[in-house]
Structure 1
Amino acid sequence: MALSKIFTIRYYAKNTGFFLVIFYFFFGIVPGGQLLSYHHTLIKGFTGSMDFLALVCLAWLLYNLKCIAFVVNVLSTKEHTFLYGTLGLLDGVTKWRTWLWLHMNLYAPVLIYSCIAAGIAIQLHFYPSAVIIGLFNIIMLIAPLWLYDHKMKHPGTVSFLARWQQWLNKTIRKSLWALYGYELLNNNIKSLAIAKVVSGLVVIATCSLMGTYDERFILVGFLVCILAQVILIYNHRRFDDLYLSLLPQLPVPVWKRYLQTGLLYLVLLLPESILLAYKVWQQAAPAHLIMLVATGVSVLMLLRSLLYFPRMDQDRYFRWVLIIIVSLLFLGLARLYWYGIILLQVPAYTIFYNRYYRYEAPLEKVD
């Protein structure tokens, strides 16, 4: 009971908002009478496609890492050092049973849903998917137990994430234009991972739902992927305001800074671009793939340029996001793809050129 208060109850209380969003997405947006058919179709979709199943497993892995990080953080706090004198004394089967029960309580939402998914996969004769789901969840339950036991035996050790950050910072030389990318990998990896998982699911769903190949259908899916990145672009301004406010004083031409920003966003879109190319490379013309990537980078460049207007708050920013995406959808329907890229790049570079040196970070964001 004491462990439940320390770990389980505190975990679900701390992540109430997260679970409300997940509950709304999986249950709130679906009418009650269609709830079972909705989830049956969803499970049929990802158990019938190995690519889709791989992304679902990745999402489950991220949730499991969230559970592990919570337990490790609790064990690392000063007020819970007494746990080393209680849990640390457990041995043998009792120790592993205690850690397994504790972790299962946190991993329960995924465990329950995955068991249902495995049952439906067997019913639909998707036996390889059922085996993968079963083995995956066994690993998700057993692997953390070793980590918890290692933490109890070595309480002063640095976490894997901290070691990853240290290795990244010491090993790789950072260019100024790529600093925000390293910031995402270091301190905002959760937001980056969520954006990439959502984008991956969108790409797979788009390619799965498309009958005959149509680049306009692919463009719509890729624009939805861009929507998953917009909050990362909005936070780019805050990062520059806080840490790179002196960057404009360096003797670098504006056109070069613009190209460097575009290169950063090209790297940011690489996972979706590679996955999309893998899914449609037998059907899509190379020009179509280049067009999609160029459109994505151009949208992000325009959104970043708009943030050089000091009064561009979050509400105005998302209004512009909607206007830009809707405009591109109409141009895509008319197959005016390259005109759309030009219509994005011209204002993006014009705003960037005229506002870059005139932009001043608001004082409240710098303090």
Structure 2
Amino acid sequence: MALSKIFTGRFYAANAAIFFLVFYFFFGIVPGNMLLSYHLTLIRGFTGNTDFLCLVLLGWTVYNAKCALFVLKTLSARESLYLYATLGVLDGQQKWLTWFRIHFSLYMPALVYSSAAVWIALRDKHIGAAVTIVLFQALMSVIPLFVYDRKIKNPGTTSLFIRWQQKLNRLFTKPLWAYYLYELLNNGSRSLFITKGVTGLVIIATYSLMEQPYELRFMLVGLLLVLLAHTVLVFNHRQFDDLKVSIAIQLPLPLWKRYVHTTFGYFVLLLPEFIFLAVRTYQVAGPLDQLLFICLSVSMLVMWRMLLYFPRLDQDKYFRWVLISIVISLFMILGYLYWYVVIGWQVLAFTIFATRYYKYEPPLAEVQ
């Protein structure tokens, strides 16, 4: 009972907002009489599609990592030192059962939903998907137990991720374009993984719903939705620059090189989507189409970032201009003016950057 309050109660309390959003997405937006069919369609969607299943497994992996990191963080807290005296004396079967109960109580939502998925997959004769889910969840339930046990036995050791991060920092000097990506991986991983999960679903849905033959305009419309999912990450980029790398303006770099750094940073940010798109469309989309996907995506994200050099552009106005640019791009795409969109947004982005970069002053609210 005491351990459940320390780990389970605190975990669900700390992540109540996230669980509310997930619950609303899975149950709140669906009418009661359609709830069962909605979940049956969703489960049959990922048990019958390998790409969709991989995306779901990735989501479960992220959630499992979140559970494990919470336990490790709790064990590392100064006020939790007494847990080493309590859990450290356990041995044998009792020790592993205790760790399993703790981890199961945190990871239980994923296990319950995956159990339903296995049952439906077996009924639909998707044996491969059912076996994959069972083996995957077995690993997700067992591997963290050894991590917890190692932490109890070695309370003063630094985690493998932290050691790898420190070693990487010693070996490599981060270029300017990588600063914000590094920040997202360390302090914005939640929003980053949610964004990538949403964009993966959009790409799968776009390609799956597209009627044959292959239609470039249909794929580009889906790509606009992928880019729209990144707007929050782009908006937060300004705050990161204002608070943590404001000294970058004093670096002896020409303006064009600064622009190239920003462009390359967004290319790397979108690299998972580019790879996924290439895997999904390589049989029907030629190299020129793949290049168009990359150029359009990077151009729009860079243009949205440059809009934020107008300091009075708050979040509401920013999203308003984002939607306007989406609509303009949509009409130009429907008019087959693909490369005009790319050139237009690049010209606008560089013009704003060249005229506003050295004049920009961070809003007082962000500086404070």
- Which bracket does the TM-score occupy, shorter chain normalised? over 0.9
Counterpart amino acid of residue 300 in structure 1: L
Corresponding residue of 2:149:
149
Counterpart amino acid of residue 214 in structure 1: E
Corresponding residue of 1:101:
101
Residue 311 of structure 1: CA displacement? 0.6
Counterpart amino acid of residue 130 in structure 1: A
The reply on whether 1:249 has 2:256 as its aligned counterpart is no
Q: The residue matched to 1:120 in structure 2 has which SS?
A: helix
1:119-146 Cα shifts (integer Å, max 9, x gaps): 1111111000000000000000000110
Identify which range, 210-219 or 296-305, moves more after superposition. 210-219
Counterpart amino acid of residue 3 in structure 2: L
Spell out the pairing of 1:290-329 with structure 2 (5 A cutoff): 290-329=291-330
In 1, distance between residues paired with 2:291 and 2:175?
26
Corresponding residue of 1:70:
70
The reply on whether 1:133 has 2:133 as its aligned counterpart is yes
In 2, distance between residues paired with 1:204 and 1:166?
36
Spell out the pairing of 1:175-254 with structure 2 (5 A cutoff): 175-212=175-212, 213-254=214-255
Corresponding residue of 2:119:
119
Identify which range, 196-205 or 52-61, moves more after superposition. 196-205
Q: Is the 8 A contact 1:8 1:102 kept in 2?
A: yes
1:82-101 Cα shifts (integer Å, max 9, x gaps): 11111111111111111111
Corresponding residue of 1:350:
351
Q: Is the 8 A contact 2:203 2:223 kept in 1?
A: yes
Residue 42 of structure 1: CA displacement? 0.9
Q: Is the 8 A contact 1:118 1:130 kept in 2?
A: yes
1:335-363 Cα shifts (integer Å, max 9, x gaps): 22112112212221111110001001223
Counterpart amino acid of residue 317 in structure 2: R
Corresponding residue of 2:4:
4
Q: Is the 8 A contact 2:176 2:261 kept in 1?
A: no
Identify which range, 25-34 or 59-68, moves more after superposition. 25-34
Q: The residue matched to 1:211 in structure 2 has which SS?
A: coil
The reply on whether 1:30 has 2:21 as its aligned counterpart is no
Residue 161 of structure 1: CA displacement? 3.1
Q: Is the 8 A contact 2:114 2:133 kept in 1?
A: yes
The reply on whether 1:270 has 2:274 as its aligned counterpart is no
Q: TM-score, normalised by structure 1?
A: 0.96
The alignment covers a number of residue pairs equal to: 367
Corresponding residue of 2:164:
164
Identify which range, 95-104 or 323-332, moves more after superposition. 323-332
Q: 1:101 to 1:23 in 2, by over 3 A?
A: same
Corresponding residue of 2:91:
91
RMSD: 1.4
Identify which range, 151-160 or 197-206, moves more after superposition. 197-206
Moved over 6 A (4+): none
Counterpart amino acid of residue 358 in structure 1: K
Q: 1:224 to 1:164 in 2, by over 3 A?
A: farther
Spell out the pairing of 1:53-68 with structure 2 (5 A cutoff): 53-68=53-68
Identify which range, 293-302 or 205-214, moves more after superposition. 205-214
Residue 30 of structure 1: CA displacement? 1.3
Counterpart amino acid of residue 21 in structure 2: V
Residue 287 of structure 1: CA displacement? 1.4
Q: The residue matched to 1:261 in structure 2 has which SS?
A: helix
Corresponding residue of 2:47:
47
Q: The residue matched to 1:86 in structure 2 has which SS?
A: helix
Residue 203 of structure 1: CA displacement? 1.4
Residue 172 of structure 1: CA displacement? 2.2
In 2, distance between residues paired with 1:340 and 1:357?
27
Q: Is the 8 A contact 1:165 1:186 kept in 2?
A: no
In 2, distance between residues paired with 1:84 and 1:250?
48
Identify which range, 88-97 or 207-216, moves more after superposition. 207-216
Aligned-pair identity in percent equals 56
Counterpart amino acid of residue 177 in structure 1: W
Counterpart amino acid of residue 35 in structure 1: L
In 1, distance between residues paired with 2:197 and 2:130?
22
In 1, distance between residues paired with 2:177 and 2:293?
23
Ranges in structure 2 where 5+ consecutive residues have no aligned partner: none
Q: Is the 8 A contact 2:220 2:293 kept in 1?
A: yes
Counterpart amino acid of residue 82 in structure 1: Y
Q: The residue matched to 1:325 in structure 2 has which SS?
A: helix
Corresponding residue of 1:284:
285
Q: TM-score, normalised by structure 2?
A: 0.96
